[in-house]
Amino acid sequence: MKVNNIFKKYRFAYLLILPSIISLVAIQVIPSIQGLYISMLRLNQFTFKDFLRAPFVGLKNYYTILFDPNSMIRVGLLGALRNSAIFTVVVISGTIVVGMGLAMVLNQKFKGRGVARTLLLLPWIVPTYIVGLLASFMYGYDGIINRILFNTLHLLPHPIYWKVGPMTLLSIILITIWRFFPMTMLMYLAALQGISKDYYEAAEIDGASGFQKFRYITLPFLKPVTAMMVLYGMIQHIYSFNIAAMMFGMGSGYPGKWGDLLMTNLMRNSFSLWQYGPGGAASVVLMVMVLALVGMWLKIFKDAITAE
């Protein structure tokens, strides 16, 4: 009776969200639960034909990817996890530092400010898979980057192998920061324009230095945006796939462990090597890790978000 009343009262509201709920349940909720189930199956090229009847192995897949010292999948995943961790941290800090710095310059008045702003937003319009494709050209051994740094500017003793070996991760990081800083810059610019000039004038009268003004006025005001950018960056870059996949070929042809990120590793394990079970288990573990990270994020930025 009571439930009925509530439904009657808000019938319009429920009707409006109904289509979204249906699509949400069908494509997000049900597959996620199924994913949990698949992570406990021995699902490979032999049992794939009828996946509902694949042998149930319980937590064996989790054991394989977490503890089994002889498992190649586990070794690959650990490498990918390390790469993704470095990648995510450096890309988030990089986009924040570059974005904030450029936003502060653009916040001043100068000739050509509009032009500079538009030009700096340009990387945003290039689809990320195109960025990966372009980067794989530019980073080649006789690509334009080596030619400029070695032949023209003589900054290097010899050309660098950007796409093989230890420089691989750095090359993905640099091009990813290039692609994603414009958004950060725009957000900081919007926030900077909301700070009243009075604060800076008052600080100037009190004899504050430029750095002090930045440290005690600008930075606290930008904290909510920083919080959002860290969260957005975590979701975006832990699950980063397109740029690395296009730079090194989809699923195969990765230069060993270099430059293999979590998503490229999981896609390769699942769809090229037929390891759906361990792939699913790794996805579940990854989700738990991301949830923990978001929990930490909530703790660190709590005051910044609630102040909004």
Partner 1 sequence: MNYRLKKKLKRYASLAVLWLVVGIVVFPIIYMVVLAGSYSNSIRTGTEFSTVSLSRYIKNFIDMQKNVDFMNYFKNSVIVISSTTIISLVLSILSGYSLARFKFPGSNGFGLTMLATQLIPPTLILIPMYLVFITIQRTFGVQVIDTYMGLIIPYVAIFTPMSIWVIRGFFANLPVELEEAARIDGCSRFQAFRLIMLPLAVPGIIATGIFIFLTAWDELMLASILTTSPRVQTIPVGIRLFIGRIQNRFDLTMMAALVTTIPVAILFFALQKYFVQGMTAGAVKG
Restricted to residues 32-71, the positions that interact with partner 1 (CB under 8 A) are 32, 34-35, 38, 51-52
Binders of partner 1 among residues 105 to 124 (CB under 8 A) are 105, 110, 116, 119-124
The CB-of-236 to partner 1 minimum distance in angstroms stands at 10
Binders of partner 1 among residues 161 to 190 (CB under 8 A) are 178, 183, 186-187, 190
> Residues in the chain, how many?
308
219 near partner 1, rule: CB under 8 A:
no
Structure tokens at 36: 């949990």
153 near partner 1, rule: CB under 8 A:
no
91 near partner 1, rule: CB under 8 A:
no
The CA distance from 301 to 294, in Å, is 10
Structure tokens at 49: 């034909």
Structure tokens at 306: 């609630």
Binders of partner 1 among residues 232 to 291 (CB under 8 A) are 232, 235, 239, 241-242, 245-246, 249-250, 262-263, 266-267, 270-271, 276, 279-280, 282-284, 286-287, 290-291
Choice between 69 and 119, CB closer to partner 1 = 119
The CA distance from 78 to 257, in Å, is 10
13 near partner 1, rule: CB under 8 A:
yes
The CA distance from 183 to 230, in Å, is 12
Applying CB under 8 A, what is the total number of residues that bind partner 1?
88
Q: Cα 102 vs. chain centroid, distance in angstroms?
A: 21
Structure tokens at 218: 């600008």
Type of residue numbered 230: V
